[in-house]
Amino acid sequence: MKNVLKLIAILSFLLIVLAGCPDPNNGSNNDGNNTPTTAGTPSNSGETGNGGSTGNGGTQTSSYAITIGTPTGGSISVSAGGQAVNSGAQVTSGATVTITASPQSGYQLQSITATGADSSNITLNGTGNSRTFTMPAQNVTVSASFLVIPTYTLTINSPTNGSISVSVGGQAVNSGAQVQSGTTVTITASPQSGYQVQSITATGANNSTIALTGTGNSRTFTMPAQNVTVSASFIQVYSITAGSGVTVNKTYAAAGETVTITPNPAPSNTNVCLITVSGSNSTVATLASLGDDRTFTMPAQAVSVSAACYAANTVTVSAGHSDVSVSYLDREITIIIDGSDSILVPSGTIVTLYARTYDDYNQSMSVTANGQNVALTDIGNDYYTFTMPNQNVHITVYGVLP
């Protein structure tokens, strides 16, 4: 019996010993990690150790501090991987970093820089107020600098017979305002009653003429890098009243301006419209239209314009070895040396005839209507006048060898 008890004790001891021994085929410890975790080294499970290294399935990535400068005259914002970051943030190397510089009013961007911890210049991409770079394996400081945009004095002259208003970027300004170069400036000239704008000008500090764009009473220009003076001048205008039978191209005009008149309705092929331009106490002009536009020079007074159309007859001219012209009112036909032409003339109109035969020829001239001579008045220097009958007139002027 004692021997049986000893055998049982020995077997129990062996079982206990065997249960306490590790499996020689199993190389893992009881915590299930292949690699022990140490400070600064990422674990396979994704632990972050001290020193900024991150473990991820055995692949190690690093992050580094980005410092954002605080410039004068503007500000900087930074994003990494599309997410905004603050100064001192840790950014993973290889991430895309975007720098945006925002100038304050009155400032403009001068430069954007990124500098590594080793004082190296980080290559930036982009234009305008934004730049990008790839985060290197070192700490980085980003900076920007801004310049004050220069301003120049805008002087507004005070004209007579009207006024000027000026706006810069859509905002009204007074004379002496400081304006940034490159800004759009708008000048508006406002004439007093009875006047119109004659000119709008902008002059640089060196007396250079600033190019203006626009029509009517408004002009614009781009402020140059110099002081500018703007001016306007106004001229008195006079009214034009269009009566029956005509239209005019303007209702007011300054003295010396050309005014165009159009018969309305246009005359038939055998009629002539006589246009009368009348001032306050005199006739300014009498014009003859065959349906075409006629013009006159505006006097320094208000005028009225009217027209009446009349049946007309033809003056036919033939010439040889002679210069001949036939004219009345503002119409004229001319023949040089040889040729023929014709013109419509209302009856009762005074017609002027010029006839000069070349040297070495004797002049043969006749003016007839229905086979009868038309009475001529010799007014000297080869000029004659006659009154247009209510018949067609034929004029012949020839040079005949002696």
Render pLDDT for 291-330 as a digit per residue (tens, 0 to 9).
Answer: 899 999 999 999 999 999 999 999 999 999 999 999 999 9
* 268 to 5, 289, 292, 310, 344: CA distances (angstroms): 155, 11, 11, 10, 12
Residues 6+ apart with CB under 8 A from 314: 342, 343, 344, 345, 392, 393
Contact yes or no for 364/370 (Cβ under 8 A): no
| pLDDT value, residue 401 | 87
The pLDDT, as a whole number, for residue 299 is 95
- C-alpha 273/C-alpha 296 separation (Å) is 15
**Cβ distance 94 to 81 under 8 Å?**
no
Q: Determine how many CB atoms are found less than 10 A away from the CB of residue 91.
A: 21
Q: What is the dihedral of CA 168, 173, 179, 184, to 10 degrees?
A: 10
Residues of the chain with pLDDT under 70: 1-60
Residue 53, beta-bridge partner list: 62
Structural tokens at position 298: 């505006």
- For residue 389, the model assigns a pLDDT of 96
Q: Which of 294, 232, 237, 240 is nearest to 262 (CA)?
A: 294
Does residue 148 sit in helix, strand or coil? strand
Residues 6+ apart with CB under 8 A from 207: none
State how far the Cα of 400 lies from the Cα of 402, in Å rounded to an integer: 6
**What's the confidence (pLDDT) of residue 86?**
96
Q: For residue 109, which of 76, 69, 151 has the smallest C-alpha distance?
A: 76
Give the pLDDT of residue 28. Answer: 39
Question: In the prediction, which pLDDT does 11 show?
Answer: 55
Rounded to 5 degrees, what are φ and ψ at 190?
Answer: -120, 105
DSSP 8-state class, residue 358? P
Q: What pLDDT is stored for residue 8 in this prediction?
A: 55
